[in-house]
Amino acid sequence: MTNSAAVLADAAAYAAAVEEASQAAAAYYATGESTLDDDAYDRLARGIAAYEADHPDEIHESSPTGKVAGGAAVGDVPHTVPMLSLDNVFSAEQFATWTASLERRIGRPVAAWSVEPKLDGLAVAARYREGRLERLITRGDGTAGEDVSHAAPAVVGLPERLDAPVTIEVRGEILMTNEQFEQGNAIRTEHGGAPFANPRNGAAGTLRAKDRAYRVETTFFAYGALPLAGSGELSATLTELPHSELLAYVAGLGVHTAAATEVAPLRVTTVEEVQARVEEIGALRAALPFGIDGIVIKADLAADRREAGSGTRAPRWAIAYKLPAVEKITRLLSVEWNVGRTGIIAPRAVLEPVEIDGSTVGYATLHNPADITRRDLRLGDQVMVYKAGDIIPRIEAPVAHLRTGDETPIEFPASCPQCGSEIDTSEQRWRCTRGRNCRLVASVSYAAGRDQLDIEGLGATRVVQLVDAGLVKDFADLFTLEREQLLALDRMGETSTDNLLAAIATARSRPLSRVFCALGVRGTGRSMSRRIARYFATMDHIVAADAESLQRVDGIGKEKATAVVAELAELAPLIEKLVRAGVTMTEPGATPPPEPGTEEEGDGGGTGAELPLAGMKVVVTGAMTGALEKLSRNQMNELIERAGGKSSSSVSARTSLLVAGEKAGSKRTKAEELGIRIAAPEEFAELIAEFLPGAAGEAVAVVAAVEVVEVTEVVEPVGGAAAVPAAEVAEVAEVVEV
């Protein structure tokens, strides 16, 4: 982790650094797009501070060292109490120095600490009057901010009414989760807009946007609260509460906090415990469903905070422990045009390799040709690259002021790079006019994969043989293959032929959710396919559904529903071939939805109440043992949903059951604190097996599926194996929900 500072040689270098930092901060807090990556900005800011310490008479009025971060958007709504920034540390040594300084200031050791994630969003203040949301205000310059109350209805976790009629100001962060970011980009591009560069940019733009023809959701996380005029007795209570209890009080009002996440705020009493939690949160960062850029450490007791006081820009009782940046600037070397398994032509940026968040990035997503044009990207550009969690690295924007004049335009393909056919350019994402037939091998291989039909022995090499021999024109043809046809192929003896035919016969009986996933409908994946199958119960009901009916499935909005209906119409001939081949078109344990006008409250179609996990939200953690030992997380989730439950990745008050294996860790601790039922793997397997005979055994017999992770770098193939085309990787990331 870097903690070096830029060295400023003289007053001219100092003035230039102040101007550059001010411009970068203004862009960052206004739109999320900055001309400097996080590391570069931090180094510059530390260099400015060092110069000012040596030259106190030369401090420029626009220096960032004396200002609240985020001062670009001033606004006109005064804050009741200034919304300050936080000072930063970058290492355990710096944190220890800061802690010692704080304890010298208050004259005693800090009694307790609150350790919580530093969320990568925009700070806001939500004012409630007698329990009703009255106003939502951005931080602005710390003394006043913008009124963005119009955006409140689309903010998840910020209720219009609290669970008690109190007058209070709740402060927190508004951000986009990874899922909201992907959904928001899909909606924007469908409406002809440019994709958000990153989740912060998306949250900033969404919060300030008015009169849009579409709605994009964001999420609120509270990190504090304070009384307002008219709070009455609550005012004294809030002022004296420990910070940890204040967050619990806010959560009790129905406001979203980080308490139900993997990085829930934790109260500890020693510096060693703080450092341990910092390391734990840092290790969890990549797997979180939202972005964090550090950890916030606060003195928990009101007395410690009161005696420490605050400076003009930051409280003295809190600090931000910064994590490595997820943004870096590097050079765009070239653009590759690859064709995915459904015919989508996906551009991919080839970058000068750069290390971001512990991994080397050499490639990044470029959404579509229109996005390249909108961003005015050119070969040779210095570009800002963003990477966080499981999101594939993407280019935010070119750093225009670094251009030398040697940059050249990016050329778009005139015909399909894979087969030379014409390109359909009528939509934002270009597509080969041959569609799935252009990448037939990839399409069939995907359908035969472990999480779809799971046809053992049908790898890409064998699929190529079948396609080249004219035996397979789509994956439905697999079910009509004859023994003599296979024996005629190279390296297909009697044993391998019989094994493959047996595997295909087994695949014919896979449940509807697997068959639907094998279709590769864009915008759906493993969990979405299971939800669709459980709701409609049969393929006939799915195919007959209109967009309105599809929207009754959890997680499907208007735009996605319309796209799924259109694609199912395109896939109708393939579905009919599968029906004729005797492939299963029903979901075990599911019942069709009621006819219009008779539907009752609940999930509509799906599972009956007699299933063991009906109505339960189940979380799995730790290493499974016994009958569940070889199951992947996806297979566990499939069992949960077939048994009537809903799978989840995080423990919250709404969790019904935690399946805790070896080394369960913080999820088990959280479940114990919340009084949630905990089951060992053996107990859970027995519960599932009792109602789904053979389900667990069948799953165990399958070699554990490899979890699909969105690729951030290209790994050189071993033993001469062919590399997976980048567009295929991008399209898998689009379809498969991780």
Per residue in 11-38, pLDDT (tens digit) is 777 887 787 777 766 665 555 455 566 6
Residue 390: predicted pLDDT: 52
Helical axes 199-208 vs 178-190, angle rounded to 10°? 60
CA 280 to chain centre: 19
Collapse the DSSP code of 423 into the 3-class scheme (helix H, G, I; strand E, B; otherwise coil) and give the result: strand
Residue 413: predicted pLDDT: 95
Greater pLDDT, 613 or 609: 613
Query: Residue 634: pLDDT above 80?
Result: no
Cβ atoms of residues 644 and 611 within 8 Å:
yes
The angle at the Cα of 254, spanning 166 to 77, to the nearest 5 degrees, equals 60
Q: Across residues 701-717, what is the average pLDDT?
A: 31
**Cα–Cα nearest to 264, from 300, 295, 219, 225:** 295
**Cα–Cα nearest to 467, from 490, 433, 444:** 444
Greater pLDDT, 643 or 153: 153
Cβ-proximal residues to 305 (8 Å cutoff; 6+ apart), any chain = 243, 298, 299, 315, 317
Question: Dihedrals φ, ψ of 155, to 5°?
Answer: -100, 110
Residue ranges of domains in the chain, CATH in brackets? 11-66 (1.10.287.610), 77-322 (3.30.470.30), 327-432 (2.40.50.140), 509-591 (1.10.150.20), 608-701 (3.40.50.10190)
Query: Residue 728: pLDDT above 70?
Result: no
Question: CA–CA distance from 301 to each of 113, 295, 298 (Å)?
Answer: 8, 18, 9
Query: Residue 273: pLDDT above 90?
Result: yes
Residue 692: predicted pLDDT: 47
- The residue type of 30 is A
Determine the length of the chain.
738
Residue 353: predicted pLDDT: 93
What percent of the chain shows pLDDT beyond 90?
45
- The residue type of 461 is T
Give the count of beta carbons closer than 10 Å to the beta carbon of residue 314.
18
374 falls in which pLDDT band (50, 70, 90)? confident
Query: Residue 146: pLDDT above 80?
Result: yes
CA dihedral 513, 514, 520, 524 (to 10 degrees): 40
Give the count of beta carbons closer than 10 Å to the beta carbon of residue 405.
5
Collapse the DSSP code of 184 into the 3-class scheme (helix H, G, I; strand E, B; otherwise coil) and give the result: helix
Query: Residue 586: pLDDT above 60?
Result: yes
Cβ atoms of residues 510 and 453 within 8 Å:
yes
Cβ-proximal residues to 316 (8 Å cutoff; 6+ apart), any chain = 102, 105, 308, 309, 310
* DSSP string computed for 460-526: HHHHHHHHHTTS-SSGGGGGG--HHHHHTSTT--HHHHHHHHHHHHHHTT--HHHHHHHHT-TT--H
Q: Picking from 90-99, 269-278, 379-388, which range would have the lowest pLDDT averaged per residue?
A: 379-388
Extract the tokens encoding 99: 């802690």
The angle at the Cα of 550, spanning 544 to 553, to the nearest 5 degrees, equals 130
Mean pLDDT of the chain, nearest integer = 83
Per-residue H/E/C for 221-243? EEEEEEECCCCCCHHHHHHHCCH
Greater pLDDT, 674 or 299: 299
Give CA–CA dist 350/363, Å, rounded. Answer: 5
- Please name the residue that has the structure tokens 């129905």: 254
Name beta bridge partners: 295.
Answer: 117, 321
Cβ atoms of residues 221 and 264 within 8 Å:
no
Cβ atoms of residues 317 and 295 within 8 Å:
no
Residue 391: predicted pLDDT: 64
- 186-210 as b/e: b if 16+ CB within 10 A: bbbbbeebbbbbbbbbbbbbbbbee
Dmax over CA atoms of the chain, in Å, equals 90
- The residue type of 465 is Q
Cβ-proximal residues to 579 (8 Å cutoff; 6+ apart), any chain = 539, 585
**Cα–Cα nearest to 411, from 338, 345, 334:** 334
Q: Across residues 336-355, what is the average pLDDT?
A: 90
Residue 70 backbone zone (phi > 0: left; psi -120 to 50: alpha; other: beta): left
Q: Across residues 81-89, what is the average pLDDT?
A: 92
Q: Which of 118, 387, 667, 670 is catalytic?
A: 118
Residue 209: predicted pLDDT: 86
Collapse the DSSP code of 1 into the 3-class scheme (helix H, G, I; strand E, B; otherwise coil) and give the result: coil
Greater pLDDT, 40 or 733: 40
Q: Picking from 58-72, 543-557, 640-654, 713-727, which range would have the lowest pLDDT averaged per residue?
A: 713-727
CA dihedral 461, 464, 469, 471 (to 10 degrees): 100
Give CA–CA dist 650/580, Å, rounded. Answer: 42
In the annotation, is 663 catalytic? no
- 222-247 as b/e: b if 16+ CB within 10 A: bbbbbbbeebeebbeebeebbbbbbb
Cβ-proximal residues to 674 (8 Å cutoff; 6+ apart), any chain = 651, 652, 653, 655
Per residue in 476-533, pLDDT (tens digit) is 999 999 999 999 998 899 999 999 999 999 999 999 999 999 998 987 888 889 889 9
Give CA–CA dist 159/161, Å, rounded. Answer: 5
Extract the tokens encoding 67: 């200002």
Helical axes 633-642 vs 526-536, angle rounded to 10°? 10
Residue 639: predicted pLDDT: 82
